[in-house]
Chain A
Amino acid sequence: MPTILRCHPGIGPVVEGVALVAQDNFSARYDLDRKKGIFSRPSHALAGQSYDGCILVLNDAKGGVATAWMLHEMKSRGIVPLALVFNRVNPILAQGAAFGNVTMVDRFDGDVTQMIRTGDRLRIDPSAGVVDILD
Chain B
Amino acid sequence: MRLNDEERAMLAGEAGEARRWGIQHQIAVGEFFDAADLVPVTQAHIMADTESLGEAGVSFLESLAALPQADRRVRVPTITDPRGLDFAVYKRLGQTDAMAALEARAIAALRSFGVLMTDTCINYQTILPPVRGEHLAMGDTGVVIYSNSVFGACSNFEGGPSALAAGLTGRTPRYGYHLDEARRPTLRFRLAATPRDLSEWGALGGIIGRACGSYWQVPLIEGLDAPPGSDALKHFGAAMASYGSVALFHMPGITADAPDLMDPALESTRIGRAEIDAFLTSYAAPGDKVDVVVFAAPQLSLVEMAEVADALGGRRVSPHTTLLVATSPEIKHAADRMGLTQRIEAAGAVVAAGICFYQSYAGELAEANGWRRLVTNSAKLTNIIGGYGYRPTLMSLERCVEAAVTGRL
Chain B residue nearest to A35 (CB atoms) is B363
Question: Is A69 a contact partner of B160 (Cβ separation < 8 A)?
Answer: yes
Mask: chain A, 2-25; 1 = CB below 8 Å from B; 0 = not:
000000111100000000000001
| B57 nearest in chain A by CB position | A69
Residue B140 CB within 8 A of the other chain: yes
Are B245 and A90 in touch, CB under 8 angstroms? yes
B243 in the interface (beta carbon within 8 A)? yes
Which B1-58 residues have a C-beta within 8 angstroms of A?
25, 28-29, 31-33, 47-49, 51-57
- CB atoms of A94 and B141 under 8 A apart: no
The reply on B202 being an interface residue by CB < 8 A is no
Secondary structure at the B interface, as helix, strand, loop or mixed, is helix
Write the chain A residue with the least CB distance to B156.
A91
- B56, B246, B359 — most chain A CB neighbours (10 Å): B56
Q: Cβ of B176 < 8 Å from any Cβ of A?
A: yes
Q: For residue A11, which residues in chain B have a CB less than 8 angstroms away from its CB?
A: 28, 32
Contact yes or no, A73 B215, CB < 8 A: no
Q: Determine whether the beta carbon of B52 is less than 8 Å from that of A63.
A: no
Most buried by A among B57, B81, B176: B57
- The answer to whether A63 and B359 touch (CB under 8 A), given A43-B386, A72-B56, A73-B57, is no
Tell me if B162 counts as interface (CB < 8 A to partner A): yes
> What are the residues of chain A within 8 A of B384 when measuring CB–CB?
29-30, 64
In this complex, how many residues of chain B approach chain A with their Cβ under 8 Å: the count is 50
Assembly CA distance A32 to B215 (angstroms): 20
Closest to A10 in B: B32
Q: A103 contacts the other chain (Cβ, under 8 Å)?
A: no
Distance between B94 CB and nearest chain A CB, rounded to angstroms: 17
B159 touches A65 (CB 8 A): yes
> Contact between B243 and A88 (Cβ–Cβ < 8 Å)?
no
On whether the beta carbons of B140 and A98 are closer than 8 Å, the reply is no
Q: How far is the CA of A66 from the CA of B60 in the complex (A)?
A: 16
Q: Is the CB of A65 within 8 A of B245?
A: no
A49 to chain B minimum Cβ distance, whole angstroms, is 14
Chain B 201-234, CB-CB to A under 8 Å as 1, else 0, gives 0000000010001111000000000000000000
Chain A residues whose C-beta falls within 8 Å of the C-beta of B358 in the assembled complex:
29
Whether A65 pairs with B47 at a CB distance below 8 angstroms is yes
Q: A30-B387, A68-B161, A95-B158 are in contact. Are A76 and B245 (CB under 8 A)?
A: no
Q: Give the interface of B toward A (CB within 8 A).
A: 25, 28-29, 31-33, 47-49, 51-57, 60, 81, 139-141, 156-162, 175-176, 209, 213-216, 241-246, 358-359, 363, 383-384, 386-389
**18 A–B pairs (Cβ distance < 8 Å), ordered by A:** A8-B32, A11-B28, A29-B387, A42-B386, A60-B215, A60-B245, A63-B242, A63-B246, A65-B81, A65-B159, A68-B159, A72-B56, A73-B52, A90-B216, A91-B33, A91-B176, A91-B215, A98-B161
